[in-house]
Amino acid sequence: MNTFKALRTKVRLSQTQMAEYLGVDQSLISKFENDKRNLSVAKLERACNLFGISYGDYVNGNIDKQLQGYYKGMSVKTLNDLANVNKITMNALEMDKLKVERIKGGDIVRLKDGKIVTVGDIHNDEIVVTYIERYKISDITEIIDRLD
């Protein structure tokens, strides 16, 4: 099945609804899903925002990262609003991912609650401050110092 069609049907949108959202004719959606026409990058990026995946993930076939949602029967305005929320969510997730890649054991960080702690170790999305306390990496507001 065509990736675009798989994502469109997963969020329970008809070709007509998708066409309205993208501002194109329904026949273009049908032709695109049957590999007879192409959509512009701008239209694909717009669709990806609605699907809850990045354009890069779509192009690379990484559709398993899709945010979940079902949009059947929603107006174009609501779909626009949802796409904007999805884009913000995807950006926040990417920022947390980048934050995880930057933090190392020995870093001194400030948490959202204002507490300053030294990172002992990192496990998935958690930091170990002592063998008892664990915080989410997303609780960190800044890296204050690095013990190298």
pLDDT digit string, tens, across residues 13-66: 899 999 998 999 999 999 999 999 999 999 998 898 888 888 888 888 877 766
pLDDT, mean of residues 66-70: 63
How many domains in the chain?
2
- Whether 125 and 60 share a structural domain: no
Q: Looking at the structure, do residues 112 and 89 belong to the same domain, yes or no?
A: no
Model's pTM, two decimal places?
A: 0.54
Which is nearest to 46 in space by CA: 61, 64, 62, 29? 29
Q: What's the CA gap between 91 and 118, in Å, rounded?
A: 27
131 lies in the same domain as 61: no
Mean pLDDT of 84-105: 73
| CA–CA–CA angle 41, 14, 80 (5° rounding) | 55
CA distance 27 to 84: 26
Query: Is residue 112 located within the same domain as residue 132?
Result: yes
77 and 108, same domain (yes or no) = no
| pLDDT tops 60 at residue 84 | yes
Residue 8 lies in domain: 3-100
